[in-house]
Amino acid sequence: MSVSDQDDRVYNTCCCCIPLRMSVFLNALFTTVMSVGMTTGWFEGGEGGSTGYSIYSRTIITAIEVTGSFWGICGLIGAYNCHWHFVRLYNIYQWGRLFAGIAMYIIDFPLLWYCELWVSDNVAAHEKMGWNPRIYKVAMHGDCLQERTEFMFGSLLSLAFLYYCASANSRYQDQLAGEIPFLIKLDKDAPKGHFFSQSLGERSFLLPNPNLRAQEV
């Protein structure tokens, strides 16, 4: 969405009310804080959640989250100073984070889908999915349905939010890529009329007859 001020200048917004530049800055700040928090152990993942239910999804998500501090700082610099290149770097990270979330969903969903198999047929579950202590613990507590439901809706909402943030960053990147009107370079050989001046000491202005002066011009 976009809003306009009293001078009819149009500004792009995020979440209907936040200016686009501010939304990119806040997103980058949140990314940096979360990355530093996960690296230092301030934030701990749940049984699955953002850390994934398998070794593959955990590796992907951990790599994305741990390196987010660098990319988040790039986004902060880009949004604060309106630097297109820094905003582009952070935007690449955001799309990469989205694809990593999709990969995590594809890897972890089958594990939760066959979660009850650990209770009914332990051998078949091991042959189908391999040993997975996290899923096994969920199954032994009888939380398969709840865990699967929370994962499905939570992950889909998370992916939708990541896509929205990445698209907002792309819109801000396109906005920075456009040239500001008063910075457009003019052709030096064809100056605009309002930039043209003429000396009053020229011969045409010294002629007494206005008609002759017009002909001279």
Q: Which amino acid is at 194?
A: H
Residue 113 has pLDDT above 50, yes or no: yes
Confidence band of 21 (pLDDT split at 50, 70, 90): confident
- Mean pLDDT for 32-57 is 70
Q: What is the C-alpha separation between 194 and 107, in angstroms, rounded?
A: 65
Interhelix angle 144-177/84-113, rounded to 10 degrees, is: 160
DSSP the chain: -EEE-TT--EEEEETTTEEHHHHHHHHHHHHHHHHHHHHHTSS---SSGGG-SSHHHHHHHHHHHHTHHHHHHHHHHHHHHT-HHHHHHHHHHHHHHHHHHHHHHHHHHHHHHTTTHHHH-HHHHHHHH---HHHHHHHHTT-HHHHHHHHHHHHHHHHHHHHHHHHHHHHHHHHHHSPPGGGSPPPTTS--GGG----TTSHHHH-S-HHHHHHH-
Q: Is 6 exposed, middle or buried (0-12, 13-18, 19+ CB in 10 A)?
A: exposed
Say how many C-beta atoms besides its own lie within 10 A of residue 143's C-beta: 14
Q: Phi and psi of 187, rounded to 5°?
A: -70, 120
Mean pLDDT of the chain: 77
Q: What is the C-alpha separation between 173 and 14, in angstroms, rounded?
A: 14
- Mean pLDDT for 66-87 is 90
Tokens describing residue 78:
């880009």
For residue 148, the Cα-to-chain-centroid distance in whole angstroms is: 28
Confidence band of 99 (pLDDT split at 50, 70, 90): very high
Residue 83 has pLDDT above 60, yes or no: yes
The string of pLDDT tens digits covering residues 138-168 is 888 888 888 888 888 888 898 999 999 899 8
Strand partners, 183: none
